[in-house]
Chain A
Amino acid sequence: MRRRDFLLGSAGAALIPLGNGAWAASAGNSGPSRLVVVMLRGAVDGLNVVVPYGEDAYYAARPTIAVPKPDAAEGAAVALDGHFALHPALNALMPLWQTKQLAFIHAAGSPDPTRSHFDAQLFIENGTPGRRVTADGWMNRLLASLPGAANGVPGPTSALAIGANLPQILKGRLPVANLPLGPAAANKLAIDRPEVAQAFDRLYDTDDPIGRAYRQGRAARTELIAGLNSEQQMADNGAPLPNTFPTQAARLAGLITRDRNIRLAFVSLGGWDTHVRQGSHSGQLADRLRPLGQGLAALAQGLGKDWADTVVIVISEFGRTARENGDAGTDHGHGNALWVLGGPVRGGRVYGEWPGLAPAALYEGRDLAATTDYRAALAAVIARHLRLSDRALTQIFPDFAPARSDIDGIIA
């Protein structure tokens, strides 16, 4: 009996198309709310993303890499309000700011002081700062807490990681799918041949991690590849698209609009560890930010009416030093800006308590302080957007009780 349930609950169910909106219908929601998390691995320099141009200390700390003020003749940052401005390479996001669908929470960060990329990323992903041993990730715990999850096992594509591996943030008890969205994503594999699939299905018919991974992979492939094939034929016209973030984001949008079961998606981008010559309005960091901004805009556009139910969070493991280092770059720091965009966002506003960059205000005398715990920021977004109970929140972020703040209003 247990075995039969297991098969039906995973491979069995997966191979029968569920139809659009099956999940939403069972959850009783008006539409499936979706969350996309974009992680910038390597610690993006948030002070050059959401620039505190109203503060002289910013320009004093960064003689060669500061982004010029909004009234500058060349390379000017784009004013968000009287104090903050956006890096000009992120211009593609300004329409979202103007229509109040983009917000930032500045000076957000971890209560853990580590400046190790790897520990800090782990803590962002497992949701328990300072505790490495937490085995699962907060997005997997979130998947278990979604309203409607109790009505049935989530489908094989309820949560999707873009990439060849499963990131820590999605690891855990509930099955999740992963798929790289590179140019070869939709290429035929041997497993697509029925006689090969049949032989391996038999071999992997086991209730252990490897058997579960296999069935999950088969089921996700069956659902996702069909969508990718039709999308690629339409969009690529046979020619391979470059493997850039805007292309991936457009593909992700296509997957989400076609597969109504996708509720959570995760993608990470590297290359933010700018210790040397990061540039100001142009240069290395600008060259990384531009495709990110274009990709997020492409995601919003590709989702069409589904953008109204989607929230995207952009997060990085920590910020970078307030002062530029000896090589026109920045070293590992602390507080950072967290980005929140989507139809349900009350945007056009920089949230959070700004500690300032005066020497006495800096964390350990060198970094932007973190005045908002990243868990408080995440909790404020997901609680309202995904209609989570307080109880669910304590399961997602154990040992954490967020204080009420104006961030709670970030989702309409």
Chain B
Amino acid sequence: MLRRSLLATAAASLASLALPRLSGAAEPPGDRQILHVLDRLAFGPTQEDLAHVRSVGIERYIAEQLNPKTIPEPPELAARLAELETLSLDPIELFLRYGPALPGIGMKPSPEEAKARRETARIIVQEAARARVLRARYSPRQLEQVMVDFWFNHFNVFALKGLDHLWIGAYEASAIRPHALGRFGDLLLATARHPAMLFYLDNWENSAPGSKMPFGREAGINENYARELMELHTLGVDGGYTQADVVALAEILTGWGLARPRMPPPDRSGFYFDPSRHQWGKKEFLGREIAPGGVAEGVEALDMLAKSPATARHIAGKLARYFVADAPPRALVERLSARFQESDGDIAAVLQTLFASREFHDSTAAKYKSPYRYVLSAVRAAGVPVNNPRPLLGTMARLGQPLYFCATPDGYKDSEDAWLSPDATVMRVSFATALASGRLPLQAKPAPEGPVVAAAAATAEPVDAAPLDSLLAPAISERTRAALAAAPVELRAALILGSPDFMRR
């Protein structure tokens, strides 16, 4: 059996020499490795990115990506993002403009009015999603986009929970994006203080027993955020905390809540610490005594969590799974964990160690793409212009990964196990075929309402297989190449984008 497969491999590689390529492009040494780097640091290669890495080299590219501010953004992208008005509004402004009408002032809104306001507010999530897709498609700061996705997912909030539809875009813009390559402790604190997280995991109501919420309702301890903060955001489920620590952390975080929109806020963040709902008194948390200090107790606890070796291991493991393999080498995780601790949670420093590792370089095509990545990498490789992201968002949703609509705080998994399924496979090849044939209305004016794939008039050109083939050539297997050779010419681009090779990164 072993002998036979060796022979078969040898035969296949001989055959490959004889098979004509669709394009005559020569293949400079190292292109496979460039594709690998673009499959991990970026949402897959584009013609432009491949050319850029060929010219500056892989090491320089990685260094650039770790310092995104040094990479100029195209003015066209900036101009299109500037059109999205809700992206620049702060949480207070979003609440006042798009939130439910306030009780206590005039009439309570009728159900119709409330529904109409919710409808109007849908623009917020639509604009956030549009910005996400445009940046992923066009921004040369690809690693930043990748890390925004990674951290948003790590600190997931759900657009359909209560008021969170108001704050999805603001959360990403102010809590996630500024820290995506920064310090983990800053990122953690920014998420903990953001109205989107305070609302999503109910901490805005977490109060000392017997205290009262602004409109007089009784409130008490709520463990939800405290538990997920340790289990998912920091220590990990095996991080060594107990039920008593969950309760202690919940007590520490009592009073961390939302600013009241009619009161002059101390700042525009939407965060407000309510001392009257804080449980005063000392607490014992993770074996340390926390002295009564109001909001400072929470800051201290978050700092303890950010600096814990368990957090370093948890985050290092998650980064290694995301960037290297579903079951990453233990030695790598240990090195990343050590780097995390030495650097006080400097995310770029940890990634630098990761990208320089042998394990990273040796993990070509080890990962199965999530639906989000699969869809984005297809439009990038095909070079298809995107103006209307709805067909892409619809496909992500149909594949089980709707953007901003993950209901649970663990976020989406990033493993083959989570995404490879019979239904997903036929859906992916069907998407690839529709994309390659030019039948997705991606260039249409963005139409927020109406069917996702409106009567598919072939307005766009079909994708040309030749440049696609030359871009991806080093990552196309001989089996795929044989199937391409046997297929009708008009299906070749579809087959490349729908191939098993392109499902991996």
Contact = CB atoms under 8 A, between A and B. Distances in A.
Interface of A: 41-42, 114-119, 163-166, 171, 175-180, 184, 189-191, 195-196, 199-200, 202-204, 206, 208-211, 213-214, 216-218, 220-221, 270-271, 273, 275-276, 325-327, 329, 331-332, 364
A164 B400 contact: yes
Q: Which 9 residue pairs across A and B have the least CB separation, nearest first?
A: A326-B220, A164-B400, A217-B422, A190-B433, A189-B430, A216-B422, A217-B426, A203-B483, A190-B430
B205 A178 contact: no
B19 interface: no
Contacts of B398: 164, 180, 184
Interface residues of B, number: 55
Interface stretch (B121-129, B168-176, B222-230, B345-353): B222-230
B429 A177 contact: no
B427 A189 contact: yes
Contacts of A115: 227, 243, 246
B421 interface: yes
B407 A271 contact: yes
Given A203-B498, A218-B426, A329 B408 contact: no
B207 A326 contact: yes
A329 B201 CA distance: 13
Given A199-B483, A220-B423, A326-B206, A270 B503 contact: no
A275 B222 contact: yes
B479 A165 contact: no
Nearest to A217: B422
Given A325-B221, A326-B209, A178 B433 contact: no
Contacts of A217: 421-426
Contacts of B437: 190
Judged by DSSP, the binding face of B is helix
Contacts of B419: 165
Interface in B154-172: none
B469 interface: no
16 contacts: A164-B398, A189-B427, A190-B431, A190-B434, A191-B426, A200-B429, A200-B495, A217-B426, A220-B423, A275-B224, A276-B222, A325-B220, A327-B205, A327-B207, A331-B224, A332-B223
Contacts of B426: 189, 191, 214, 217-218, 221
A209 B399 CA distance: 18
A380 B486 CA distance: 54
Interface string B375-403: 00000000000000000000000111000
A125 to B, nearest CB: 12
Given A177-B422, A210-B503, A214-B422, 8 more contacts: A118-B410, A119-B237, A178-B421, A179-B423, A204-B425, A210-B368, A210-B500, A271-B407
B221 A326 contact: yes
Interface-centre pick from A203, A210, A325 (highest chain B CB count, 10 A): A203
A326 B213 CA distance: 11
Nearest to B402: A164
Interface in B434-478: 434, 437
Contacts of B430: 189-191, 196
Contact of A327 (B222, B418, B425, B427): B222
B359 interface: no
A195 B408 CA distance: 40
Contacts of A199: 483, 486-488, 491, 494-495
Contacts of B243: 115, 364
B483 A202 contact: yes
Contacts of B427: 164, 189
Contact of B219 (A176, A273, A327, A364): A327
Contacts of A114: 237
A189 B418 CA distance: 23
Contacts of B231: 116, 118
Contacts of B424: 164-165, 178, 213, 217
A73 B237 CA distance: 45
A325 B222 contact: yes
Contact of A203 (B422, B431, B480): B480
Nearest to A201: B483
Contacts of A118: 231, 237, 408, 410
Interface in B486-502: 486-488, 491, 494-495, 498-500
B116 to A, nearest CB: 20
B1 to A, nearest CB: 10
Contacts of A329: 202, 222
Nearest to A190: B433
Nearest to B160: A271
B12 to A, nearest CB: 13
B420 interface: yes
B64 interface: no
B451 to A, nearest CB: 9
Nearest to A215: B422
B354 to A, nearest CB: 25
A220 B219 CA distance: 51
A61 to B, nearest CB: 14
B112 interface: no
Nearest to B426: A217
Contacts of A210: 368, 420, 425, 500, 503
A329 B486 CA distance: 61
Nearest to A204: B500
B401 to A, nearest CB: 8
Contacts of B422: 166, 175-178, 213-214, 216-217, 220
A211 B501 CA distance: 11
Nearest to A210: B500
A332 B227 contact: yes
Nearest to B226: A331
A15 B429 CA distance: 19
A171 B417 contact: yes
A331 B480 contact: no
A149 to B, nearest CB: 19
Contacts of B368: 210
Interface in B265-285: none
B416 interface: yes
A345 B191 CA distance: 49
A261 to B, nearest CB: 15
A209 B326 CA distance: 15
Contacts of B399: 164
Contacts of A42: 408
Contacts of A180: 398, 400, 423
A273 B158 CA distance: 13
Contacts of A209: 416, 420
B231 to A, nearest CB: 5
Nearest to B371: A164
A117 B408 contact: yes
Q: Which of A214, A218, A326 has the most CB of B within 10 A?
A: A326
Interface in B326-368: 368
A180 B434 CA distance: 20
Given A329-B222, A332-B223, A166 B408 contact: no
Contacts of B425: 204, 210, 213-214, 217
